[in-house]
């Protein structure tokens, strides 16, 4: 393998940095004399920043697995240098720290699974480096949920498919909380179904590198999917961060964007026309009666506070409909409200009992 030259800077700035990396395999005879030398890596220069997602491609025997093993300090350079998160892989004193930093998933998951129970296997690595028991189980749960295998936590790996085993192996590495994950041809031994499972898992890891968003409602509009998020969970600390946002996913180009909204704890999302969508909020958590209007064209949002019109404590909007171009019909548990979009005012407020409220709810649907 020979990768094109690149400018090499301070190794502490990069997660992985190789300069002039060479690895040679030697063949010896029965007397220990070297009879053949094969160069697998030939002057590799490469920099990988934290958060990068890269693939190394090449034919069989081109040195891909050799390079991967260098990143985990399973091999050391014959010539040149390789630093992982600022640590020299040639220094054996760094071996443990490097392997805690760079987790590796091998081609054959059977070579990496050692327990008869899935959750015990995923927890094996953290247990061996002294992670407290309570934290081990938190890591196990989070890792298995991330790879979509939490339902199999009590199962035996021997009863799983190849793709499922490989996802368990990935979960086991994730539970170690490495700063980077190296996958050495993880789909090479799998059938098409198993290959898709693993590729989807890898894509999920790329999308959710730092945060796990939680969504309350979703709609599709044209070529876009819209969802409302009440916040996210930090995947390192597991802390929940509450911040209202609209998530827009482009179904054609497979790109996504987040737009912050003024009030947190959005509850439901309503399609109210080609120009706007409307979002209701949990009044118990924001202590207001109101809704957010999001403009499809400007991608701007505005929170409409109608708290002065509330007639009960913790009243909330349960449905929103478009009456015509300029008016919205809002239904709460206690009343019906007509809102003028252009004027930004309430033009009709009708209190209703439970029975009448039910009638209105059926009518506007």
Closest CA to 244 of 288, 274, 306: 288
pLDDT reported for residue 359: 45
Tell whether the model's pLDDT for residue 10 goes beyond 60: no
Burial (CB < 10 A; 0-12, 13-18, 19+), residue 289, is buried
Q: 32-46, 61-75, 209-223, 248-262: which range is least confident on average?
A: 209-223
pLDDT reported for residue 246: 86
pLDDT in tens, 272-322: 888 888 988 876 566 788 899 998 888 889 999 998 988 887 788 888 999
What are the structure tokens assigned to 246, written together?
A: 């609209």
Q: Render 295-307 in DSSP notation, one character per residue.
A: ETTT--EEEEE-G
Measured between alpha carbons, how far is 21 from 41 in angstroms, rounded to an integer? 7
Q: Render 191-250 in DSSP notation, one character per residue.
A: -HHHHHHHHHHHHHHHHTSSEEEEEEEEEEETTEEEEEEEEEEETTT--EEEEEEEEEEE
β-pairing, 180-183 vs 102-105, is parallel
DSSP state of 311: -
The reported pTM is: 0.52
Q: What is the mean pLDDT of residues 148-171?
A: 87
pLDDT reported for residue 268: 83
Tell whether the model's pLDDT for residue 155 goes beyond 60: yes
Give 35 or 58, the one with higher predicted confidence: 35
Torsion sign over Cα 174, 175, 176, 177: positive
Tell whether the model's pLDDT for residue 363 goes beyond 60: no
Integer CA distances (angstroms), 280 to 12, 130, 240, 337, 338, in order: 47, 46, 21, 14, 15
pLDDT in tens, 237-256: 556 666 788 888 887 776 77
pLDDT band of 212, cuts 50, 70, 90: low
pLDDT in tens, 69-110: 999 899 999 999 999 989 999 998 999 889 888 888 887 888
């Amino acid at each position: 393998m020979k990768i094109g030259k690149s400018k090499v800077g301070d190794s502490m700035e990069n997660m992985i940095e190789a300069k002039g990396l060479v690895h040679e395999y030697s063949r010896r005879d029965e007397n220990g004399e070297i009879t053949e030398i094969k160069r697998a890596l030939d002057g590799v220069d490469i920099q990988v920043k934290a958060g990068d997602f890269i693939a190394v491609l090449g034919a069989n025997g081109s040195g891909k697995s050799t390079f991967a093993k260098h990143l985990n300090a399973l091999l050391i350079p014959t010539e040149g240098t390789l630093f992982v998160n600022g640590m020299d892989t040639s220094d054996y004193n760094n071996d443990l720290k490097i392997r805690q930093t760079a987790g590796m998933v091998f081609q054959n998951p059977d070579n990496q699974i050692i327990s008869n129970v899935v959750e015990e296997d995923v927890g094996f690595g953290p247990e061996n480096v002294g992670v407290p028991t309570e934290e081990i189980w938190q890591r196990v749960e989070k890792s298995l949920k991330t790879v979509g295998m939490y339902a199999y936590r009590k199962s035996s790996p021997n009863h799983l498919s190849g793709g499922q085993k490989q996802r368990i192996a990935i979960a086991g590495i994730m539970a170690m909380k490495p700063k980077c994950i190296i996958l050495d041809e993880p789909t090479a031994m799998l059938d098409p179904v198993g290959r898709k499972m693993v590729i989807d898992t890898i894509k999920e890891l790329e999308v959710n590198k730092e945060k796990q968003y939680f969504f309350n409602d979703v709609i599709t509009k044209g070529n876009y999917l819209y969802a409302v998020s009440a916040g996210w969970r930090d995947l390192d600390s597991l802390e929940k961060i509450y911040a209202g946002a609209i998530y827009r996913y482009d179904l054609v180009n497979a790109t996504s964007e987040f737009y912050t909204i003024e009030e947190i704890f959005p509850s439901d999302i309503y399609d109210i026309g080609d120009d706007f969508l409307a979002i209701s909020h949990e009044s118990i958590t924001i202590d207001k009666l109101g809704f957010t209007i999001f403009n499809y064209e400007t991608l701007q949002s505005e929170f409409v506070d109608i708290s002065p019109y509330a007639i009960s404590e913790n009243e909330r909007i349960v449905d929103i409909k478009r009456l015509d171009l300029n008016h919205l019909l809002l239904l709460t548990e206690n009343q019906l409200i007509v809102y003028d979009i252009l004027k930004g005012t309430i033009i009709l407020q009708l209190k209703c009992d439970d029975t009448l409220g039910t009638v209105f709810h059926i009518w506007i649907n």
